[in-house]
Structure 1
Amino acid sequence: MKQRWDHVIAKPGALVALMAIAPVLSAQEPYVYPAKGQSAEQMAADKAQCQAWATQQTGFDPLKAATAPQPTPGTQSGRGGLLRGGAKGAAAGAAIGAIAGDAGKGAAIGAVGGGVLSAAKHRRQQQAEQKAQAQQAEAQGAKSSDFLRAYGACLKGRGYSVE
C-alpha cells in the first residue's frame, strides 16, 4: 500500500519547503485540516506559499530567526576587568601617593578604588546586555505572533480549517 506522503517526496520542492519551515513552526504551528479535500501535495505547496506570503506581509522570516546567531555577552570577563581596573587604579594611586609622600598607600587606595569602579562598570554592562536581550526576545515573540496570524489567514483563504 502506498504511503500518504509518497507523492510529496516525488516533488522535492514541496518537501524542501515543508521541511524548511517545519522545525521553526512546529512548536507554534497551528493544526491545519484540508476542509475542501485538498491533497497532501496541495497542502504542502499551500503551506510553503503561505509561509512566503506571511513573511512578505510581516517582514519576519521564522527560518532566518531560528538560524540567527545569538548575541554573545561582553568579551571582558568580570575578574579580568576587575584586575585591570585595580592595576590602573594602583598606578594612578601610586603617582598621586608619590606626590603626597606615600606612594604605597596611594597605590593600595587606587587599586581598591579602581577594582570597585571596574566591577561596577562590568555590572552595568551586564545589566544593559540582559535588558537588550530581553527586549529582543519580546520583539521576536511579537513578530512571530504576527507571522503566525498571517500564515493562518492565508491558509484559511485557501480553504483550510486552521486552529
Structure 2
Amino acid sequence: MNKLQALFVAVTLSQAGTVSAEQVFYFPTKGQSPEQVTKETDECSTWAISQTGFDPKKAPSAQALAQENLAKNPAQEKSHDRAVLRGAARGAIVGSTVGRWNDNDRTTAGSVGAVAGAASASKGAQKQEAQQEQARQQQALQQAQATLDEQNNTFNRAMAACMDSKGYNIR
C-alpha cells in the first residue's frame, strides 16, 4: 500500500506543472493497480486538456504571460513632449515677467525661464511615466497570475470529474 500511496503523490505532483494553484490528490477506491492508476491519470489528463484547452505542464509563468500581454498592448503614447512645452511656456512667462520687474531684458529672461521650465517639466514627466509603467507592469503580472489560476482551477475540475467517474476519491 505504501508504494501505491507514493504513486498517487507522484502522479498528483506531475499534474501540478508550473502553475501555482491548489493541488489535487486522487486515491483509488476500487483497488486499481499502480499501472491502472497511471493509465487512468494520463487518460483523464488528456481529456481535461482537450476540454479546457489548458495544459498545466506547458503553462507559461505568470511573468512570461504578463510580458506577452504587455507586448500585445503597448503603453499609451507618452505626453512627455506636451509636458515639456507647457513647462517651457510657463517658464518663459515667469522669466519675462521677472525680467520686466527687474528692468532686465525680457527676451533673455524669458528664454532662461523657458529652458528652466522645460527642464523641470521634463524631469517631472519622466518620473510620472516611470511610475505609470511600473504600475502597468504590476497590473499585467497580477492579471496573468489570475488568468493562470483560473485556467488551472478549470483544468483541475475537469480532471477531478474524469477521475471521479473512474472510481477515485478526490481531495
Name structure 1 gaps, 5 residues minimum.
9-14, 75-84
1:124 counterpart residue number: 132
**Equivalent residue of 2:59, what SS?**
helix
CA-CA distance at 1:4 after TM superposition = 3.5
- CA–CA distance in 2 between the matches of 1:24 and 1:115? 41
2:54 counterpart residue number: 60
Name which of 108, 111, 119 aligns with 1:101: 108
CA-CA distance at 1:136 after TM superposition = 1.9
1:157 counterpart residue number: 165
Name which of 14, 38, 43 aligns with 2:32: 38
Deviations 1:55-111 (A, max 9, x none): 111111111225573545x9xxxxxxxxxx7xx959x94xx96x9424443222211
Closer/same/farther in 2, CA of residues 67 and 131 from structure 1, 3 Å limit: closer
> TM-score, with normalisation over the residues of structure 2?
0.62
- CA–CA distance in 2 between the matches of 1:23 and 1:60? 11
Q: How many residues align?
A: 137
- Structure 1 counterpart of 2:132, one-letter code: R
Name structure 2 gaps, 5 residues minimum.
71-79, 93-105
Deviations 1:101-143 (A, max 9, x none): 2444322221111110121122122222222221221122111
- CA–CA distance in 2 between the matches of 1:25 and 1:40? 26
- Structure 1 counterpart of 2:113, one-letter code: K
- Structure 1 counterpart of 2:148, one-letter code: Q
Query: Is 1:18–1:48's contact at 8 Å kept on the other side of the alignment?
Result: no
> TM-score, with normalisation over the residues of structure 1?
0.65
Closer/same/farther in 2, CA of residues 67 and 23 from structure 1, 3 Å limit: same
Percent identical among aligned pairs is: 26
Query: Is 1:89–1:107's contact at 8 Å kept on the other side of the alignment?
Result: no
1:113 counterpart residue number: 121
CA-CA distance at 1:161 after TM superposition = 1.4
Query: Is 1:54–1:147's contact at 8 Å kept on the other side of the alignment?
Result: yes
1:144 counterpart residue number: 152
Q: Whose RCO is larger (CA < 8 A, sep 6+)?
A: 2
